[in-house]
Chain A
């Protein structure tokens, strides 16, 4: 039986149903969530308005609305170049990451279960060590020596691999676990497939959605990366975030349009990542993983509220 959430200690005369409904809207819990929602939305809404304003001096309302800032932005070659570089770097880093991570996560879930424990420890490193600390080491290690790649995009690609590793590994591990990949491999091999064939024909198609989610999440994460891009490469290979930082002197409306564009781009990626094909049910089984509090790595993108805790147990 599912009962609507009710204030536990409210005891009064019965109220008219319509009045009850109106009171529900005003209940303190709704108010709290609504306020925090508003609080979080404020900077975004302000920026959006600013990006759409013709001119906005020291007054409360803009003089008029326009999309000329967006048009101007999209006609700026430097912006387009930065956009292209960001995408290039992110895509390269993601391809590298997939090539490196997929075999590891696969072997950890078939042949070497202890590898999974090791990996779960290792993937905490990119979280525990702030990027600024890593970049101190990276700057010194790769400024000269046998591999002088500081200042080139080549240092960003493997570095980005390290920071998307936690997302990717956890997302892939979750989908492999949901698949019970060990039995699947055994079944495929009993039916005559070589391990490699079994992997490409059976496992890979089944974790495609897991990979898709991981890739898009990582992409949106990389699109917002600034510290490494600025510290290791800077203006020599200007990405979107670095570009945004470098044009701080430009018109506020113009930068606002850029901020909104970035946000929408990220949104689009997240949406693409979470979009589920209508025909396939995607097992999202991360609730337990995110309980510990120290585990940042499993983003809870598909959390649905526990509608009926009585019934599900």
Chain B
């Protein structure tokens, strides 16, 4: 865990300074309004030649918010991040930070910190010099510089590695150096471009928590780019789901996960079963409003066919799953295969011409249902999402890779 007593840190002090000045009510109000619209993107668009990278990007981000840009590779999220940093220019639109238009400022003068996917540490400098670089560029006095570098290295738990060169560090340590280097200059906004994707799973989890803790303790407005929905769900205050250069849906984790706006969103979040409304009718017992229905795999319930249950081998000890209060009619199906996902078993079930993903809590290996077993499928009608969009590209709920 991270040391949380960062109240003494220079970064926290700076934040207090900006808040202290609100003596008058009006200015306090104005400030709160400014805090609500700390980072404002309006009408941002960018193309490379005839290829549109992103367009119609509008967003309002409050001070201290942790925003995740989530989307498949090539959706424009990284380019958008780089545009905010000033590493790419935009063709149209405005980027406003704290009331200042920074759209045409060079990156040096934007006051934005960034952490790159492949760390981008300067290989010729030791850890201390990497971290101190931004302060040197700002001509911060050596004593002050040393103090702040030490402080930030303590925050990312790298004090012992201060004299190492980047190539002497592990991937996770390198990324923490990169984080420290971006934080030490007290940026107005922190940008993280897939900072975890080059790391292995265990380090990734640890660093993910560390990033979140630091971000919270510093109250830093943060934009995080990832293609990993789990990361997005765990970290973000709000998620911007991007697809083909547009923000498809924005909202908090719960909203994105349980209420996808369309098939693409549903296809990317979770492993939704997307079903045409006619095909869904036997499961739901009624004809849905929208042209499609989205059902999460955990909103479907399985029960072995009672007529066959007695004939089964005694080792199949599948307990009857308690059905939700508002379940649809029983729908006969056959198990095609299963995937063990740790605490969850995902069954693929053929049911009335549909192939459904159904998640069941993995309580015991003796309760696994064999392939070819006939089952009854029930839908939790409270979790049915009618999608009111034009038919999207992906016909079934395939996993977004």
Contact = CB atoms under 8 A, between A and B. Distances in A.
Interface of A: 1, 3-4, 6, 8-12, 14, 17, 20, 310, 313
Contacts of A6: 88-89
Contact of A17 (B49, B87, B88): B49
A4 B48 contact: yes
Nearest to B103: A11
A313 B74 CA distance: 17
Given A17-B49, A17-B50, A313-B118, A3 B88 contact: yes
Contact of B105 (A8, A11, A14): A11
- Shortest 7 CB-CB distances between A and B: which pairs? A14-B91, A11-B104, A9-B106, A11-B89, A4-B48, A17-B49, A313-B118
Contacts of A313: 118
B229 interface: no
Contacts of B78: 1
22 contacts: A1-B73, A1-B74, A1-B79, A3-B79, A3-B88, A4-B48, A6-B88, A8-B87, A9-B107, A11-B86, A11-B89, A11-B104, A11-B105, A11-B106, A12-B89, A14-B89, A14-B91, A14-B92, A17-B49, A17-B50, A310-B117, A310-B118
Contacts of B50: 17
Contacts of B87: 8
Given A11-B89, A11-B106, A12-B89, 9 more contacts: A1-B78, A1-B79, A4-B48, A6-B88, A9-B106, A11-B86, A14-B91, A17-B50, A310-B118
A14 B74 CA distance: 22
Interface string B83-96: 00011111110000
Interface in B86-142: 86-92, 104-107, 117-118
Query: Chain B interface secondary structure, helix, strand, loop or mixed?
Result: loop
Contacts of A310: 117-118
| Max chain B C-beta neighbours (<10 A), residue from A10, A14, A20, A310 | A14
Contacts of B92: 14
Interface residues of B, number: 20
Contacts of B49: 17, 20
Contacts of A1: 73-74, 78-79
Interface in B52-90: 73-74, 78-79, 86-90
B83 to A, nearest CB: 11
A6 B306 CA distance: 66
Interface in B218-246: none
A54 B48 CA distance: 51
Given A9-B106, A11-B105, A3 B48 contact: yes
A11 B48 CA distance: 15
A264 to B, nearest CB: 39
Nearest to A309: B118
A201 B89 CA distance: 59
Contacts of B107: 8-9
Contacts of A11: 86, 89, 104-106
A8 B107 CA distance: 9
A56 to B, nearest CB: 47
Nearest to B108: A9
Contacts of A8: 87, 107
A11 B91 CA distance: 10
A1 to B, nearest CB: 6
A10 B89 contact: yes
Contacts of B117: 310
B104 to A, nearest CB: 5
B374 to A, nearest CB: 47
A63 to B, nearest CB: 48
A65 B369 CA distance: 89
Contacts of A4: 48
Contacts of B74: 1
Nearest to A7: B89
Contacts of B118: 310, 313
A10 B49 CA distance: 17
Nearest to A15: B91
A14 B91 CA distance: 5
Nearest to A21: B49
A89 B118 CA distance: 53
Contacts of A10: 89
B371 to A, nearest CB: 39
Nearest to B49: A17
A10 B90 CA distance: 11
A12 B88 CA distance: 11
Nearest to A10: B89
Contacts of A20: 49
A8 B86 CA distance: 8
Nearest to B92: A14
Contacts of B91: 14
Interface string B253-284: 00000000000000000000000000000000
A97 B79 CA distance: 54
Contacts of A17: 49-50
A26 to B, nearest CB: 17
A10 B86 CA distance: 10
Nearest to B50: A17
Nearest to B75: A1
A256 to B, nearest CB: 45
Nearest to A17: B49
Contacts of A12: 89, 104
A3 B50 CA distance: 13
Contacts of B88: 3, 6
Contacts of B48: 3-4
